């Protein structure tokens, strides 16, 4: 049997981590500073306006919700929980795949 040396993953220093966090904050705040007097509306409103322009007689109320959330905060919370669940699943998948790739290999010579 031969001893295997495992390569340690590269670790980022605190300085690089802080620079990354500051860069994310800067890139997030940049549109708010550069674009004056904008409403930053979502794509739902733009899509509805486009459908209205293409087919003015279209009735979007052909279906209704089974359950209506009691308020906008509840809707935002459910959306955030959905995003968290998706992030956890994606993170687990990538972690699992990395673990399979970097894990110890048992081989018999």
**What would the mean pLDDT of 80-97 be, rounded to a whole number?**
94
Q: What share of the chain is helix, strand, coil (3-state, %, to 5)?
A: 60, 0, 40
Structure tokens at 96: 């699992």
**What would the mean pLDDT of 89-104 be, rounded to a whole number?**
88
Exposure class string for 48-70: b at 16+ Cβ within 10 A, else e: eeeeeeeeeeeeeeeeeeeeeee
35-86: per-residue pLDDT in tens?
777 776 677 778 888 888 999 888 877 788 888 878 878 888 889 999 999 9
For 5, other C-beta atoms within 10 Å of its C-beta total 6
Q: What are the residue ranges spanned by the domains of the chain? A: 70-101
Structure tokens at 4: 């295997």
Q: What is residue 18's predicted lDDT score, i.e. its pLDDT? A: 93
Q: What is the pTM of this model?
A: 0.42
Q: What is residue 108's predicted lDDT score, i.e. its pLDDT? A: 56
58, 52 Cβ separation under 8 angstroms: yes
4, 104 Cβ separation under 8 angstroms: yes
Ramachandran assignment for 37, one of left (phi > 0), alpha (psi -120 to 50 degrees), beta (any other): left
């Amino acid at each position: 049997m031969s001893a295997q040396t495992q390569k340690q993953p590269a670790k980022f220093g605190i300085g690089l981590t802080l620079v990354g966090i500051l860069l994310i904050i800067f890139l997030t705040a940049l549109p708010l500073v550069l674009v004056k007097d904008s409403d930053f509306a979502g794509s739902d409103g733009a899509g509805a306006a486009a459908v209205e322009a293409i087919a003015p007689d279209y009735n979007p109320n052909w279906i209704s919700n089974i359950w209506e959330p009691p308020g906008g905060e509840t809707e935002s919370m459910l959306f955030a929980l959905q995003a968290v669940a998706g992030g956890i699943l994606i993170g687990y998948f990538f972690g699992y795949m990395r673990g399979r790739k970097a894990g110890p290999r048992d081989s018999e010579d």
